A and B are shown apart, each in its own frame.
Chain A
Amino acid sequence: MDMQIKKLLFVTKFEELGYDALKTLLSLRKAFLEHIVFLYVIERDQVAMQRGVGFKRDEAIRQKEAANIRFIDWAERLFVQGMEVGVYIQIGSLAAEVAKAVQKEEADLVVIGRSQKSTLEQFYSGSTVTELIRRLSVPVLVYKPAPELPFAMGKPFDRPLLATDWSPASLRAVDFLKSMKPLIQEVRVVHVVDQESIEGSSVMQAQKARKEAKQRLEEICARFESEGIPARSHVYVGDPKEEIEKALRECQATLSVLGSSAKTNWVERFIGSTPRHIAEKSFFPTLLIPPERRHNGG
């Protein structure tokens, strides 16, 4: 399975995702990154036709020029490092424009940002994120500013934590992380046994569930280790949303990696799901891996 990241689409509104974030992602060059495409979307409702106002052409030009100036500065810094750079500044809806750009550019990864102080919805509404995920067949990295933690965050792919629910997408995430081998110091693989699933069970049954999960996790670790990537497994019990966050801190992870089930329509599974919750609420950058499906952006 070819999951190399050669081209990255960097979706920014500047305030939440700046050049410092981009710099940490340049480590992906070790894993084949050679082309970065910037996308700035002027939301249609900011410049749309309004009664008595019409199309706010001046506002559209102002935003376009401001974005262009920032992108020229970023591009110059990347060009001189031998990177290939492209730019889109579009008026429209964010999800639609991201999907279009992914398709036109055949991007391998989408990076979007989230502010430290606010939830994802304040920059990208929940429905936008859901729509974005629904439209894309490529991984989405929700980037976040470094949280205040008692350990150094490092670069996102230094110490990823793969939270698996055994779904095809979380197994696909294993292949994805294997392709990131030059960047990774160690992978932690975690499964959360849902508290509800073992309530009323005997101690013996609960222990059996833990043992089975641990065994499956060790099989995944073996796949990483066969590629020379150190890996350790952990079983947690409780609410997956809380336990994954706990695991991220305890493992001093730099990135959470989650897939989603392909048993039913992915977006239906995703709404209100653990991956979306982690993407929106967690302090840690989150990489969402979609299940394998048609190979295009739209």
Chain B
Amino acid sequence: MGNRVLVVDDDPDVRLFTTTVLEENGYEPLEAENGEDGLQMIRAEQPDLVILDVLMPRQSGIRLYRELKTHAELKNVKVLIVSGITQKAFLRSQQALTEFGAAPVPEPEFYLEKPVEADVLADHIKKAIG
């Protein structure tokens, strides 16, 4: 198996789609169904890439992304956001949190708005981790 990729998404259909794309392209998929579980898995499994949804129960992708990018040991984990929430709304949300006093975070390097075709997803994963 190749690089390990964690898929954090509450929708089981999306997780199935994404993990299938990952397996077909030689990656090892891991799964979490919300931001809280995702963070635990990132700490435990240290994946090469996190494919992150935004709108989820327990903890959103906005908060999880922020936790990752402000964490000394986790800030270099690569993140590909795949969400129905637009990139513009994501960036404005992070900006709002920063205005409320939270630490600034870098913009995500990779962002795809759902729905996503399998080949587009595979291309972005390849760009992120090869």
Is the A/B pair a real complex? yes
Q: A residues near B, CB below 8 A?
A: 37, 68-69, 71-72, 75-76, 79-82, 84-88, 101, 104-105
Residue interface mask B78-93, A partner, CB < 8 A = 1: 0000001110011011
**Residues of chain B lying within 8 A (CB to CB) of residue A84:** 59-60, 62-63
B56 touches A86 (CB 8 A): yes
Least distance between A110 CB and chain B CB atoms (Å)? 15
| Candidates B57, B59, B62, B93; contact of A87 at CB < 8 Å | B57
**Residues of chain B lying within 8 A (CB to CB) of residue A80:** 89, 92-93, 96
A84-B63, A85-B60, A88-B57 known; A76 and B85 CB under 8 Å? yes
| Candidates A71, A104, A105; contact of B55 at CB < 8 Å | A71
* Docked CA distance A88–B63 (Å): 17
Q: Can you list 9 A-B contacts with CB-CB less than 8 angstroms, sorted by A residue number? A: A75-B54, A76-B89, A79-B62, A79-B85, A79-B93, A80-B89, A82-B97, A85-B55, A86-B60
Closest to B84 in A: A72
* Docked CA distance A84–B57 (Å): 10
* Docked CA distance A119–B119 (Å): 51
Closest to B102 in A: A82
B89 touches A105 (CB 8 A): no
Main SS of chain B's interface residues? loop
Q: B residues near A, CB below 8 A?
A: 10, 54-60, 62-63, 84-86, 89-90, 92-93, 96-97, 99-100
Closest to B63 in A: A84
Supply 16 further A-B pairs (C-beta < 8 A) apart from A68-B84, A79-B62, A84-B60: A72-B84, A75-B55, A76-B86, A76-B89, A79-B93, A80-B92, A82-B96, A82-B99, A82-B100, A84-B63, A86-B55, A86-B58, A86-B59, A86-B60, A104-B57, A104-B58
Least distance between A90 CB and chain B CB atoms (Å)? 10
Least distance between B88 CB and chain A CB atoms (Å)? 9
Least distance between A74 CB and chain B CB atoms (Å)? 10
* Docked CA distance A256–B90 (Å): 38
Closest to A69 in B: B84
**Residues of chain B lying within 8 A (CB to CB) of residue A82:** 93, 96-97, 99-100
* Docked CA distance A101–B57 (Å): 9
* Docked CA distance A85–B86 (Å): 15
* A69, A72, A82 pick with most chain B CB within 10 angstroms: A82
Closest to A85 in B: B60
Least distance between A251 CB and chain B CB atoms (Å)? 36
* Docked CA distance A69–B55 (Å): 11
